[in-house]
Structure 1
Amino acid sequence: MLVKIFGSAIHGVSAQTITIEVNVDQGVGYHLVGLADIAIKESSFRISAALKNVGYKLPGKKITINMAPADLRKEGSAYDLSIAIGILAASDQIKAENLGDYIIMGELSLDGGLQPLKGILPIAIKAREEGFKGIILPKQNTKEAAIVDSLEVYGVDNIKEVIDFFNEGKPLERTVIDTRKEFQDKINFFPFDFSEVKGQENAKRAMEVAAAGGHNIIIIGPPGSGKTMLAKRLPSILPPLTLKEALETTKIHSVAGKMGTNTSLLTVRPFRAPHHTISDVALVGGGSYPQPGEISLAHNGVLFLDEMPEFKRTVLEVMRQPLEDREVTISRARFSVNYPASFMLVASMNPSPSGYFPDDPNNTSSVFEMQRYMNKLSGPLLDRIDIHVEVQKVEFDLLTDKRKGETSLTIRERVLKAREAQTERYKDLEINYNAQMGPKEIEKYCQLDEVSQNLIKVAMEKLGLSARAYDRILKVARTIADIEQSETINSSHIGEAIQYRSLDREFWNA
């Protein structure tokens, strides 16, 4: 008897429905075809033990299983439950009338229990798109799948529950989640707040400007000056995720297996901080079986590179294309996948190998050592970072001051007003905020009066600013003007923007 049952395969951050055809006929043997990997081929041993332990068995006949489309590679152990139910239906051990109404996925334990899976959200979205009535999967994944409306989500602990559902009509427990309520309840939860940062008012202002315009930022300062503390609090002042962005972000984390069992939807912008020993593949994604890298896990959020010069140069250079295109393409001989990678880059670094500025008595680095240290960061990479800000160590009086600083909520309100101005300005364009402006937009929206033009000219000549700093200064000045709700850019906006180009000065490039 031939039976068709449906599963799903992940390709990039999307899913594709897989038709699993199971035929039980006269003869002996177990044949699995359709470009399945080793984990799927090993499923016969797990299925045999699981069925025996719940009172069923593999039929002593010829079992042929085809996974279509046959030219698409299938990976992992998530098809155990699908194949097992298909074999039982094809051998008349259970009824098969309603099998085609559901996507059925799950990894079997030897006792018939089910293990959680990766990539459930895109699978559920695809199931709804293709008109399936529901999805049956391990109970640990139900909250994640249930955020998809108009799809019945059933979680099970053991294959026996699925058998009884089809064979005896025994109901399964359905999981229902109010997605919008879940989203709204958690959208403003942040573990860190800017009010906890002592001193560093200049750096806090720079972080506000970066958040308001979507600018990449690098913080330069000695050890213990609060660089990491500032970076961790950046998500708390960024605009809240929209529901669409939350679903995009959750899909990526789902495919990567980074969702917790009790998490249904990511409601705050991600903050990723990889260690400096990370490989280029782990950062941008890839591998024999491609997976999203850290830059994709930071999509719609923040990627923090602590002590940036300590990262391998090859690792840093692979970020250049994703920083411009806001996506990364992983190509293999037979296929390619695209992962979104629209993130804010926040980096930190010491000003020298010893960790201190040249005028600090603790600095023991020579000019040559400092220059070699700085040369680890290439010009093209720094060209993609709009704001460079220096921070000094915090004085004792500020450190022991009991007064709280400005809260993240207050700063966020100004950021939101600035973003609203940018949304209105670029409503007919393909960009969303100032950091994405190209030469045409800069020429149109960053016009300067004579005083401002003279100021930036003097800065270029006297401070030794590089030519690439010119456009960055204009972009940042436009953001500062937006924070102050100013239609035009004036000399005070230009002056502040010039302060945020530390690494372009002759002091660093001598």
Structure 2
Amino acid sequence: MYSEAYCMAVKGIDGCMIRVEADVSDGLPAFSLVGFLSSELKEARERVRIAMKNSGFRLPPKRITVNLSPADIRKDGTGYDLAIAVSVLTAFGFIPQDSIRKYAFIGELSLEGRIQGICGVLPQVYTAYENGITHCFVSQDNAEEAGVVQDIQIIAVSDLAELVSVLQNNTVSQKKYNPHGQGAEETFQELDFSDVNGQKMVRRAVEVAVAGRHNLLMIGPPGSGKTMIAKRVPGIMPQMDFEEQMEISKIYSVAGLLSKELPFVKKRPFRDPHHTVTQPALLGGGRYPKPGEVSLASGGVLFLDELAEFHRQTIDVLRQPLEDGFVNVTRIDGTYRYPARCQLIAATNPCPCGYYPNRKKCNCTSVQIKNYLGKISQPILERMDICIETLPLDYQDFCEEKTICNENSAQMQQRIQKAQTIQSERYQKMSVFHNAQLLPSMIDTYCKMDTTAQIYVEDIFHKMEFSARVYHKILKVARTIADLDGKEMIEKEHLVEAVFYRTADLKYWGNEL
């Protein structure tokens, strides 16, 4: 007898439908699984067989063949167990075939028949909805996460016997799971820019960087507020829409970072990996590919503190993701693509002790300083749209009158939201969303300058010997500054500010760009 059930496979953060076909025939008793399977999926044969036995289903000695189709897609993980068990039980007549035609089954089976949670449920349920599935059976552990997709009915079951009983008695409608909402609200207090004293130039640079999604590098002595400022950046970024929340939640689901308490990501992520992070951890990959820090920060901030302490090769792997907005992880069984549309913010000291060029405190030799800063390659520096110097604070910066007047995050966010709305309207028919994403072919169209600005930028290009990439980044930053001012054309004052944001890297790394 033949039967089929449905489940999903995850490749990157997207899913694809898998049809689990079971055939029961006469012959020597056997249980075969086919369909380009990984080692843990091949072991599902024993898990499913024993789980069915311990759930009270006595199967006659028959030849059982289960095929996971399409056979050219590699299947790995343990989330196929439930669909395999349902398909086999349907083939033996325990479950009516007509009752599961529009159902999907996701879960791992324990030997006693309990249904256990797995990673990556959210993209699987979303794929099921896109393919016309009306009901999805999941474990109790994954119910909150699966319930985020509101246009498909989620049925949470605890074990195989309960699932079969629901299907046999046609009580699916009575078992419909009612999620508590699209994820619990994070209860942590948002860090506010009103806590930051002084550093007016840095605050302005951060505002410009966030408004256009430009990469930012801060260089300065210890205690000047670099880390403090970076941690407050998510609080001035505009709120995410549902599509952004869904994409980020898919990434976190595949990485196994969602939970019952937080089944859906609503806040922009902030990731700050330690400088000892490895290339696969930063970029993604591993034996079983998983998204890395650059993907987990997608839609938010990737903060690399003490940038000069990172291994140079580790930093350099970010070149392609910063340009393309995604990461391709290639393995022998296929290529996995993860989003990497994050805003890179980096901070570094100017020398090993951190106090250069203050020679009263800094005793580092010129060779030590050069070797220290040399860990940051020129190609990475060129991908930093804005490089700003953080200066040591004076006592006056902490005076009560000044701290009371500190601008808060809500005020900054309001201006940033206005500038990004201008960009959304400008690029609504394009494949870009922010100024930082403009392609070279789009520069002439969207970065129009008045006559004074054209004369200035031509003069400064020859004097400072910018590369083509840096030149284009200056124009993009100037476009963002003009948007913050509500100006249609880029004016000279906008270009002057944009060029100023390239002077700190020239000061510390020399005129090698």
Equivalent residues of 2:389, 2:504 under 8 A apart: no
1:450 deviates by 5.9
Counterpart residue identity of residue 249, structure 1: I
Equivalent residues of 1:466, 1:505 under 8 A apart: no
- Going from structure 1 to structure 2, the CA distance change for 1:98 and 1:400 (only over 3 Å counts) comes to farther
Equivalent position of 1:38 in the other structure: 39
What percent of counterpart residues are identical? 39
Aligned length: 506
1:21 deviates by 1.8
Pair 1:215-2:217 in alignment: no
Q: 1:71-105 CA deviation, whole Å, 9 max, x = no partner?
A: 22111111122222233333334444412221111
Query: How is 1:18-167 mapped onto 2 (pairs within 5 angstroms)?
Result: 18-26=18-26, 27-167=28-168
Equivalent position of 1:2 in the other structure: 2
1:58 deviates by 4.9
Counterpart residue identity of residue 137, structure 2: I
Equivalent residues of 1:28, 1:62 under 8 A apart: yes
Query: How is 1:423-462 mapped onto 2 (pairs within 5 angstroms)?
Result: 423-449=424-450, 452=453
Task: Quote the Cα distance in structure 2 between the aligned partners of 1:438 and 1:461.
Answer: 23
Task: Quote the Cα distance in structure 1 between the aligned partners of 2:142 and 2:351.
Answer: 48
Counterpart residue identity of residue 378, structure 1: S
Equivalent position of 2:309 in the other structure: 310
In structure 2, the residue corresponding to 1:505 is in which secondary structure?
helix
Equivalent position of 2:374 in the other structure: 375
- Going from structure 1 to structure 2, the CA distance change for 1:231 and 1:255 (only over 3 Å counts) comes to same
- Going from structure 1 to structure 2, the CA distance change for 1:187 and 1:207 (only over 3 Å counts) comes to farther
Counterpart residue identity of residue 147, structure 1: V
Equivalent position of 1:325 in the other structure: 324
Q: Once structures 1 and 2 are overlaid, which stretch shifts more, 211-220 or 52-61? A: 52-61
1:121 deviates by 2.0
Task: Quote the Cα distance in structure 1 between the aligned partners of 2:432 and 2:91.
Answer: 54
Q: Once structures 1 and 2 are overlaid, which stretch shifts more, 222-231 or 211-220? A: 222-231
- Going from structure 1 to structure 2, the CA distance change for 1:507 and 1:380 (only over 3 Å counts) comes to closer
1:20 deviates by 1.4
1:423 deviates by 2.4
Query: How is 1:85-484 mapped onto 2 (pairs within 5 angstroms)?
Result: 85-171=86-172, 173-176=175-178, 182=182, 191-396=190-395, 398-399=397-398, 401=400, 403=404, 405-449=406-450, 452=453, 466-467=466-467, 469-484=470-485
Equivalent position of 2:510 in the other structure: 509
Equivalent residues of 1:140, 1:262 under 8 A apart: no
Pair 1:500-2:505 in alignment: no
- Going from structure 1 to structure 2, the CA distance change for 1:29 and 1:255 (only over 3 Å counts) comes to same
1:415 deviates by 0.4
1:454 deviates by 6.2
Task: Quote the Cα distance in structure 1 between the aligned partners of 2:153 and 2:228.
Answer: 43
Task: Quote the Cα distance in structure 2 between the aligned partners of 1:50 and 1:356.
Answer: 65
1:228 deviates by 1.6
Q: Once structures 1 and 2 are overlaid, which stretch shifts more, 153-162 or 190-199? A: 190-199
Task: Quote the Cα distance in structure 1 between the aligned partners of 2:165 and 2:361.
Answer: 73
Equivalent position of 1:485 in the other structure: 486
Task: Quote the Cα distance in structure 2 between the aligned partners of 1:449 and 1:411.
Answer: 28
Task: Quote the Cα distance in structure 2 between the aligned partners of 1:498 and 1:188.
Answer: 41
Task: Quote the Cα distance in structure 1 between the aligned partners of 2:31 and 2:329.
Answer: 35
TM-score by length of 2: 0.90
Structure 2 portions without partners, runs of 5+:
none
1:36 deviates by 1.6
TM-score by length of 1: 0.90
- Going from structure 1 to structure 2, the CA distance change for 1:500 and 1:134 (only over 3 Å counts) comes to same
Equivalent residues of 1:466, 1:504 under 8 A apart: no
Counterpart residue identity of residue 22, structure 1: A
1:303 deviates by 1.3
Equivalent residues of 2:33, 2:45 under 8 A apart: no
1:138 deviates by 0.9
Task: Quote the Cα distance in structure 2 between the aligned partners of 1:509 and 1:177.
Answer: 57
1:428 deviates by 4.1
Structure 1 portions without partners, runs of 5+:
none
Q: 1:106-156 CA deviation, whole Å, 9 max, x = no partner?
A: 112233222211222221122122222210011222222223243111111
Counterpart residue identity of residue 129, structure 2: R
Q: Once structures 1 and 2 are overlaid, which stretch shifts more, 384-393 or 56-65? A: 56-65
- Going from structure 1 to structure 2, the CA distance change for 1:400 and 1:158 (only over 3 Å counts) comes to farther
Counterpart residue identity of residue 283, structure 1: L
Equivalent residues of 1:249, 1:297 under 8 A apart: yes
Equivalent residues of 1:82, 1:104 under 8 A apart: yes
- Going from structure 1 to structure 2, the CA distance change for 1:241 and 1:14 (only over 3 Å counts) comes to same
Task: Quote the Cα distance in structure 2 between the aligned partners of 1:102 and 1:195.
Answer: 52
Q: Once structures 1 and 2 are overlaid, which stretch shifts more, 129-138 or 474-483? A: 474-483
Equivalent residues of 1:189, 1:268 under 8 A apart: no
Task: Quote the Cα distance in structure 2 between the aligned partners of 1:507 and 1:260.
Answer: 45
Counterpart residue identity of residue 35, structure 1: F
Task: Quote the Cα distance in structure 2 between the aligned partners of 1:470 and 1:202.
Answer: 22
